[in-house]
Amino acid sequence: MLKTPTPFQHELEMVTLEQLVPKDHLLRLIDRHISFDFIRERTQALYCADNGRPAFDPVLLF
């Protein structure tokens, strides 16, 4: 059913990733057992330290 759009947001719901991802999810198990910190070392040369906007953490992007 097609609704007409409303111009105002009436409710605000605050959620976190902790709430959205179940405790027994496969990604939590992977995160617990594998460290992806090596990604920072391997991508360090691709980021400029003093030019442009601050970069997103490549580990989080991965």
- The per-residue pLDDT for range 31-59, each reduced to its tens digit, is 899 999 999 999 989 888 888 888 889 88
pTM of the model: 0.54
Q: What single letter denotes the amino acid at residue 48?
A: C
**How far is C-alpha 35 from the chain's CA centre?**
16
Beta-carbon contacts of 37 under 8 Å, excluding residues fewer than 6 positions away, are 59
Instruction: Give pLDDT, residue 26.
Output: 94
Instruction: Give pLDDT, residue 29.
Output: 93
State the Cα–Cα distance between residues 62 and 30, nearest whole angstrom.
Answer: 13
State the Cα–Cα distance between residues 4 and 15, nearest whole angstrom.
Answer: 26
Strands (E) across 1-62 are located at none
